Amino acid sequence: MRRLRTAFQVLVVAAVAVTGVRHALGWSMTTIEKYCPFGGLETAYALVTRQKFTCAAGELNLALFLALILLTLLARKAFCGWVCPLGAVLEWWGRLGRRWLRFSSFDGWWRPSDRTRKVLQTVLRSVVLAAVLAATWATGELVFRGYDPYYILFSAHGHDVMFWSYFILGGLLALGLAMPMAWCKYLCPLGAALWPASKPGLLRLRRSPDHCTECGACDDACPQSLPVSSVMEVRSGECTLCFECTAACPVAGALELRAPGGKP
């Protein structure tokens, strides 16, 4: 499953990078924004109030956002772990940071309590989401572009990317070394928008106390730093169903994917 997920990530990253470069070179009119589901959320207000899309956002953004909500209701934040190209790059970067700086887990240099992490995630990401949506809806422009690490990274110096945009990207990469996947965990506005759909998500990982040795390997392997070994079921809205925990688990059958209903 790890190889399959990596293949998904590599394919998406390559496709987005090629799209960005082709557009920058003038070989194609397709921009990387065209397939961004967050654009669907950004344009939703304009569509409801003015029956028009915002700026360069269009029907594909909206359709992909609606499909993403459906996916999240079924498989939690599988998008983040399997599809998001920025999430993939930051995960690979975070792994590099873990190896270089010899961190035992994806927490990095700072290991907050579960409660502190939840509060920080909720507050910081909600603030970013509210600011982006308020600015977009007030101006009718995709004002987040110049600050959006996804756009800065993959657009090959696209429209609205300024020199200071690279400082933002550089800062996030530096932060991502010390605190792997800090953007995804604490700042991503799409992550905040998906949380209400992800929390009641249908699929979840269940830990079998009969098999589990409580070695904690799953906790260290989780890119989202979830305390897998201390819960019976991973019901967190942050779980990306990446199966890193099941791959790290030394006992077969200790962690399994479950859906409600049927035999326990």
Partner 1 sequence: MRVPPWTVPLLVLLCAALGLAGARFLVRPSVVLDLAQAPSDADLRTTVLVVGGLFCVDTAERAAGQLDGLPGVVRFTAYASRNRAEVLYDPAVATAETIRKAIEGPVYDKETGEFLFGLYRVVEADGVKYSAP
For residues 75 and 169, give the distance between their C-alpha atoms in angstroms, rounded to a whole number: 29
Name the packing angle between helices 37-50 and 189-198 (round to 10°). Answer: 80
* 140: contact with partner 1 by CB under 8 A: yes
* 256: contact with partner 1 by CB under 8 A: yes
Nearer to partner 1, 70 or 130 (CB): 70
Q: Which long-range contacts (CB under 8 A, 24 or more apart) does 124-131 make?
A: 124/186, 124/187, 125/186, 125/187, 125/188, 125/189, 125/191, 125/192, 125/195, 126/192, 128/187, 128/188, 128/189, 128/192, 129/189, 129/192, 129/193
Quote the least distance from Cβ 176 to partner 1, whole Å.
24
* 49: contact with partner 1 by CB under 8 A: no
Contact (Cβ atoms closer than 8 angstroms) between residue 158 and residue 149 = no
Give the chain's count of helices (H) and strands (E).
Answer: 12, 3
Binds partner 1 (CB under 8 A): choice among 128, 217, 241, 254: 241
Q: Which stretch binds partner 1 (CB under 8 A): 57-65, 98-106, 163-171, 228-236?
A: 57-65
Nearer to partner 1, 83 or 217 (CB): 83
* 229: contact with partner 1 by CB under 8 A: no
Nearer to partner 1, 170 or 196 (CB): 196
* 133: contact with partner 1 by CB under 8 A: no
Residues in contact with partner 1 by CB under 8 A are 1, 4-5, 8, 26-29, 31, 34, 37, 47, 51-68, 70-71, 74-75, 78-79, 82-83, 140, 203, 241, 243, 246, 256-263
